[in-house]
Amino acid sequence: MNDRIILTGISAVGYHGVFPEERLNGQRFIVDAILDLDLSVSGANDHLINTVDYSKVVELIHEAITGIPFSLIEKLGHQIAEIILNTFSLVRKVQITVHKPDAPVGIDIVDIAVQIERSR
């Protein structure tokens, strides 16, 4: 199966991090999601019920970013992957990339990211 829904650049302010200032001030997080599922039925019949409503996926990811703070972006990515798999039964595999472009590492960088892949 090679069918995918790809969501890129879901951005919100979250309060994830190990340092107190990250938990206090927050920072921008960006999430990309790749959902593997069979799109042949929805492609043939043009009915939303036979696919995943990606607006709902975006909403869940946004809620995870802005919700309960975690120390690690690894945990945030894992949590998002689990939520998607538990909410959308058609999704067989999910790949989540959590970007933390403003991570306080003491040196200018473009991005720090983790990639989480989970499947049924």
Walk along the chain (120 residues) in steps of 10 and give the mean pLDDT of each run.
93 97 96 97 96 98 98 98 98 98 93 97
Question: pTM surpassing 0.75?
Answer: yes
Task: Check residue 85 and give its pLDDT.
Answer: 98
Cβ within 8 Å of residue 23, ≥6 positions away: 15, 17, 69
How many domains is the chain partitioned into structurally?
A: 1
SS3 6: strand
Does the active-site annotation cover 75?
no
Task: Check residue 112 and give its pLDDT.
Answer: 97
Instruction: List residues bridging with 93 in a β-sheet.
Output: 36, 119
Q: Would you state the structure tokens that stand for residue 29, as one six-digit string?
A: 């997080």
How big is the CA angle at 61 (ends 66 and 7), to the nearest 5 degrees?
135
Task: Check residue 80 and give its pLDDT.
Answer: 98
What is the span of the domain harbouring residue 88? 4-119
Q: What is the CATH number of the domain that holds 40?
A: 3.30.1130.10
Residue with tokens 């991570």, as numbered in its chain: 103
Task: Check residue 2 and give its pLDDT.
Answer: 86
| Catalytically annotated residue among 56, 75, 93, 100 | 100
